[in-house]
Structure 1
Amino acid sequence: MSVAGKHIVLTGASSGIGESAALRLAELGARLCLVARREPELLRVRDAVLEAGGEADIYPADLSDQEAVGALAQRLLDEQPRIDVLINNAGRSIRRPVAESLDRFHDYTRTMQLNYFAPVQLTLALLPRFYAQGAGHIINVSSMAALIPTPRFSAYTGSKCALDGFSRTLAAEHVGRGIAVTTINYPLVKTPMTAPTRIYRYLPQMDRRKAAEWMVEAIARRPVRMTTYTGRTWGTATAALPGPTVRATGRIFRTVGEALRRRAERDSQA
């Protein structure tokens, strides 16, 4: 299946993976609806798409606001005669141990709103259009953190696990109806969202242009899941042997985290 000519709604399009995906999809002939909170950044990405010979409309919307999500969905349905693909890419990450989150329940609610409730709300709103067309594709951007035990990311991981569960059920219910559901469980990707965490500079990070190519491949092949070999293997081990895997993962993260923290401190003092 070709990307050319497809009408694609892409959230989180103003930076990071979303920006790179917008430019790559435009190069391949997709017609884009770019969604993000910051209108100036959306205009910048749209201009880059137009300069590359692509087509794009912008839809500024704060996906952390349920009313704004509803208004966005209605605008899309009113203004776009066809929607072929919905890419739920917008998200937030919070890195904080549970023991330091005891008075920060709001971290969990705001992460769930953007990473889970907004994608679900958009999906539910656009599904009737897919039914009427007899075809559609939902791509939910998740993380390897949803497949493996990941210390310090309880709010983020919880939201992505919820999205993974919704995606699996949605995919199973729509087998044979022309509507595909793909979950992309990315590894760590080098984006503005990861930049504030100092120790990430010492870890392998996927280039966001490669992450964008994963989206292209997802649209072309429509797999149920895309992730790395490590994600598949570690996820399988966690499902088959949760006790030993969780204990081993906790020790590994603690040891590696302490080593990276010491290295970052030495570099900052140098």
Structure 2
Amino acid sequence: MAIADKTIVITGASSGIGEAGARRLAERGARVCLVARREDELQRVADDIRAAGGQAWAYPADLTDEAAVARCAERILAEHGHVDVLINNAGRSIRRPIREALDRLHDYRRTMEINYFAAVQLTLAFLPGMLERDSGQIVNVSSFATLAPVPRFSAYVGSKAALEGFSQSLAAELANTGIAVTVICYPLVRTPMTAPTKMYDNISMMSPDEAAQWMVDAVAKRPARIARRVGEAMAVAKTAAPGLTTSIMARVFDYRAKKLRKQMED
């Protein structure tokens, strides 16, 4: 599918995967509408894209604020008429063992606000135009963590699993239309979101540029899912032998955590 001249909305576009994806899509001729909370950073990205010859507009909005999201969507539609592709990329990650989260229900609410409800609200806002034109695409950014039993991320994985369930049902309803639904299951990507976890400094991660190419591929090829083969294999294993797969993953994560802690101490 051609990317040039498509109006593409990207959330979480002020840094990390969203910024890299916006730049790459703009290079391919897309009209990118950038959405994020930090206005200064968002404007920086938009200015850089325009300076490089691309087309970009900044729409600062707090995606945890339902009214702000509604105003943002209304403004985009008023200024562009329609949206060809919505990329729900904005996300929040919390790494915390469940034993340390027993009194932190707010962590689960916070992750759902960004990772799930904001994505659903924007989808509901832009989908009517797509249905009217029988054309469009919803790209929901998820994680490898939904494909395998991953400990210490119950808030994050729960929110992304909800987003994937929404995506699957949406895809089934839109199967006989010109609207595609794509889920991107990223592995760990070296972005500002992963930077606070110092343990990640010593492990291999995908770069934002590599992640951006997945985003371009999602729009260009419109697959149902993009994931690494190991992720797909883990999803099959989890379905075939859930108990065994969970036990193995728990031991692997414990081993890696101990090894990384020792490296940090040394």
What's the TM-score, normalizing by structure 1? 0.97
1:253 is displaced (CA, Å) by 0.6
Q: Tell me which residue corresponds to 2:27.
A: 27
Contact 1:142 1:184 in 2 (8 A): yes
1:203 is displaced (CA, Å) by 1.4
Contact 1:140 1:183 in 2 (8 A): yes
1:138 aligned partner, one-letter code: I
Percent sequence identity is 58
Q: Tell me which residue corresponds to 2:118.
A: 118
Q: Tell me which residue corresponds to 1:258.
A: 258
Deviations 1:55-91 (A, max 9, x none): 1111000001122112212212222112100000000
d(CA) in 2 for partners of 1:5, 1:76: 15
Q: Tell me which residue corresponds to 1:143.
A: 143
Q: Tell me which residue corresponds to 1:162.
A: 162
Q: Which runs of 4+ in 1 moved over 2 A?
A: none
**Alignment gaps of 5+ in structure 1:** none
Please give the residue correspondences for 1:1-270 in structure 2 after superposition, counting only pairs within 5 Å: 1-266=1-266
d(CA) in 2 for partners of 1:202, 1:46: 32
Contact 1:26 1:52 in 2 (8 A): no
Contact 2:82 2:126 in 1 (8 A): no
Q: Secondary structure at the match of 1:204?
A: coil
For the aligned residues, what is the CA RMSD? Answer: 0.8
1:133 is displaced (CA, Å) by 1.5
d(CA) in 1 for partners of 2:94, 2:253: 17
Contact 2:182 2:218 in 1 (8 A): yes
d(CA) in 2 for partners of 1:166, 1:133: 22
Contact 1:10 1:18 in 2 (8 A): yes
Q: Secondary structure at the match of 2:216?
A: helix
Query: How many pairs were matched up?
Result: 266
Q: Secondary structure at the match of 1:59?
A: strand
**Alignment gaps of 5+ in structure 2:** none
1:38 is displaced (CA, Å) by 0.6
1:235 is displaced (CA, Å) by 1.1
1:188 aligned partner, one-letter code: L
Contact 1:26 1:32 in 2 (8 A): yes
